[in-house]
Chains A and B, each alone.
Chain A
């Protein structure tokens, strides 16, 4: 059967009754007439009753129903009586279902234009709110830590072991790669300058001090922020979406004790170890570059030994613990405060990484200034 293009015609009957003669096949893939044409036509004639007639109608699907619904809505707006008595029975029934619940006009506010959202007072307000929230979260963590020390916290140590494994051994490969390369970069940076004075041997000192005090721990922290911090935010965000966190709260368990503490402790335990590992590999990376400049491995090791001191190592380790806390706080806070949709979980993970890196840089600068002042 060949398909006929769908269409309609308006026929004036007795009085101000108008018949809407529908014809052709109203099927997907057919070009249909625009409803706005009918609207203007009807408005012009000023009818009081509109009768939809399907006598010459061919096959039809949702396309026809969507059209009829528009007619129905238009007629009820204009106070025109709309009759579908002449339509196929199934179409009448579908329209009855579709119109059973009158269209809601729920108050859905249109989002304000973006430039309106930039309001200095509001931004300051948000910032203060954010800071207060952060402090409250840190406070909760402190309380949870106190309860943990007192042995009263609901912290599961099986979780802790899993998190240690995920944060530590699982991260070896990426930490190895970044550390070796950073060690080499440090060596190259120094080599260019030191060669001018014939002081290539001091590349070893530069790499040792640079890695131990600064680059080893900072690079590890950045990698962990992207790896573990984001993972924490995604895990907790998904738990928020699945109402798991609600369940934990209503069971009378503090989510900070149950979810945040094991993650944070795992990171605090693992970060110093990873930092030492990164330092070591960084020095090896520096050694490779030094070897290329004619320094023998023995010379490099001997000079490194002179440069290494417990102070330098401690500075790196202190930083690593601080950074671990910051990454865990940023990750867990974003996750717990996440919205309940897949988009919100993604946002939480992004937020976790961004805040963690900002925290890291600020803390690193602060610690360096502090140590400089005390002369460490």
Chain B
């Protein structure tokens, strides 16, 4: 089913996630290929965001490994992890913009830390990144002075400041109206197509999933493991798991999915 000719970018192998002795998800194994828009989906409380946090190294797995371009992230030293993280752009559910800094300062921060651009170049790059997300001219605004949708886009501008290879999104369209959410989706696709980055996102917005995802994994809360993996459009119609078909077609659990 998969186009295996593409190269593996992120490999999750036999990952088990647990809080103490409480297992959240176990035996997770899947690949994210270069240029994928990969969606982690599942019902509420199944551990989607937890999986993302493991991939970002904010939480440590109980067992298993996550490999980026063939290099183990779990066994990497702190310095190696830092180097790998620098190739990532991350937007958090609430944006994660630093509220005491203007948008320009927020985007300048990673540039200042990790590049040797001159101040003039930094300013021009900040202007370009803000323009990319449709916020040209908003340099001097504080996050509290702009709307929620704009904050999400500003967070995206910060995430792409360093031209990342991988973009992570935690619920990008949560709390956005359908139009803003659609625009954000389009933006993600455009950025992905023009930069060739790999996108990993956690979402349960069906519209987003069908519009932009090229591959996905479904985490099940009751069996505590992944029960399906593949292109969500294919899974909707052909998944062997009734739960996945129900999830993707928004039908109730009472066997409605069998009606034509």
**Are both chains from one complex?**
yes
Name the segment of A13-21, A93-101, A117-125 touching the other chain: A93-101
Residue in A70, A94, A342 whose CB lies within 8 Å of B99: A342
B100 x A97 contact (CB < 8 A) = no
A93 x B163 contact (CB < 8 A) = no
Kindly report which residue of chain A lies nearest to residue B193, judged by CB atoms.
Answer: A93
Name the segment of A104-112, A221-229, A249-257, A360-368 touching the other chain: A104-112
With A103-B131, A341-B142: A97-B124 Cβ-Cβ less than 8 Å: no
A339 x B136 contact (CB < 8 A) = no
Name the segment of B115-123, B198-206, B208-216, B247-255 touching the other chain: B115-123
What are the residues of chain A within 8 A of B191 when measuring CB–CB? 97
Task: For the complex formed, measure the closest distance between the CB of B139 and the CB atoms of chain A, giving whole angstroms.
Answer: 9
What are the residues of chain A within 8 A of B176 when measuring CB–CB? none
Interface residue ranges of B85-123 to A (CB < 8 Å): 98-100, 115-117, 120-121
Asked if B240 lies at the interface with its beta carbon under 8 angstroms from chain A, I say no
What are the residues of chain A within 8 A of B120 when measuring CB–CB? 34-35
B140 x A108 contact (CB < 8 A) = yes
Interface residue ranges of B154-202 to A (CB < 8 Å): 163, 187, 190-191, 193-196
| Docked complex Cα distance between A102 and B138 (Å) | 12
B121 x A61 contact (CB < 8 A) = no
A97 x B194 contact (CB < 8 A) = yes
What are the residues of chain A within 8 A of B144 when measuring CB–CB? 339-341
Kindly report which residue of chain B lies nearest to residue A341, judged by CB atoms.
Answer: B99
Interface residue ranges of A30-64 to B (CB < 8 Å): 32, 34-35, 61-63
Asked if B134 lies at the interface with its beta carbon under 8 angstroms from chain A, I say yes
Category for how many chain B residues contact A: 20 to 34
What are the residues of chain A within 8 A of B134 when measuring CB–CB? 100-101
What are the residues of chain B within 8 A of A102 when measuring CB–CB? 136
Asked if A29 lies at the interface with its beta carbon under 8 angstroms from chain B, I say yes
With A102-B136, A104-B136, A340-B144: A63-B121 Cβ-Cβ less than 8 Å: yes
| Docked complex Cα distance between A97 and B125 (Å) | 15
A35 x B124 contact (CB < 8 A) = yes
Task: For the complex formed, measure the closest distance between the CB of A83 and the CB atoms of chain B, giving whole angstroms.
Answer: 18
B132 x A97 contact (CB < 8 A) = yes
A90 x B131 contact (CB < 8 A) = no
Asked if A343 lies at the interface with its beta carbon under 8 angstroms from chain B, I say yes
| Docked complex Cα distance between A104 and B144 (Å) | 18
With A32-B121, A103-B136, A104-B138: A69-B131 Cβ-Cβ less than 8 Å: yes
Kindly report which residue of chain B lies nearest to residue A27, judged by CB atoms.
Answer: B163
What are the residues of chain B within 8 A of A343 when measuring CB–CB? 99-100
Task: For the complex formed, measure the closest distance between the CB of B235 and the CB atoms of chain A, giving whole angstroms.
Answer: 30
Kindly report which residue of chain B lies nearest to residue A70, judged by CB atoms.
Answer: B124
Kindly report which residue of chain A lies nearest to residue B131, judged by CB atoms.
Answer: A98
| Docked complex Cα distance between A94 and B196 (Å) | 11
Asked if A146 lies at the interface with its beta carbon under 8 angstroms from chain B, I say no
Residue in A61, A90, A97, A342 whose CB lies within 8 Å of B163: A61
Task: For the complex formed, measure the closest distance between the CB of B188 and the CB atoms of chain A, giving whole angstroms.
Answer: 11
Task: For the complex formed, measure the closest distance between the CB of B239 and the CB atoms of chain A, giving whole angstroms.
Answer: 34
Asked if A65 lies at the interface with its beta carbon under 8 angstroms from chain B, I say yes
| Docked complex Cα distance between A65 and B100 (Å) | 28
Task: For the complex formed, measure the closest distance between the CB of A104 and the CB atoms of chain B, giving whole angstroms.
Answer: 4
| Most chain B beta carbons < 10 A, residue from A34, A69, A90 | A69
| Docked complex Cα distance between A344 and B151 (Å) | 18
Interface residue ranges of A333-375 to B (CB < 8 Å): 339-343
Asked if A134 lies at the interface with its beta carbon under 8 angstroms from chain B, I say no
List, sorted by A's number, 29 A–B pairs whose CB atoms are closer than 8 Å.
A28-B116, A28-B117, A28-B163, A34-B120, A35-B124, A62-B128, A63-B125, A65-B128, A66-B124, A66-B128, A69-B124, A69-B131, A70-B127, A90-B196, A97-B132, A97-B190, A98-B128, A98-B132, A101-B131, A101-B135, A103-B137, A104-B135, A104-B136, A105-B137, A106-B141, A341-B142, A341-B143, A342-B99, A343-B99
Beyond A28-B163, A103-B131, 10 additional pairs, beta carbon < 8 A: A28-B116, A69-B128, A70-B124, A90-B195, A90-B196, A93-B190, A104-B135, A105-B137, A342-B98, A342-B100
Give the 5 A-B CB pairs with smallest separation, nearest first.
Answer: A341-B99, A101-B134, A103-B136, A66-B128, A66-B124
Q: Which residues of B contact A (CB under 8 A)?
A: 98-100, 115-117, 120-121, 124-125, 127-129, 131-132, 134-138, 140-144, 163, 187, 190-191, 193-196
Q: Which residues of A contact B (CB under 8 A)?
A: 28-29, 32, 34-35, 61-63, 65-67, 69-70, 90, 93-94, 97-106, 108, 339-343
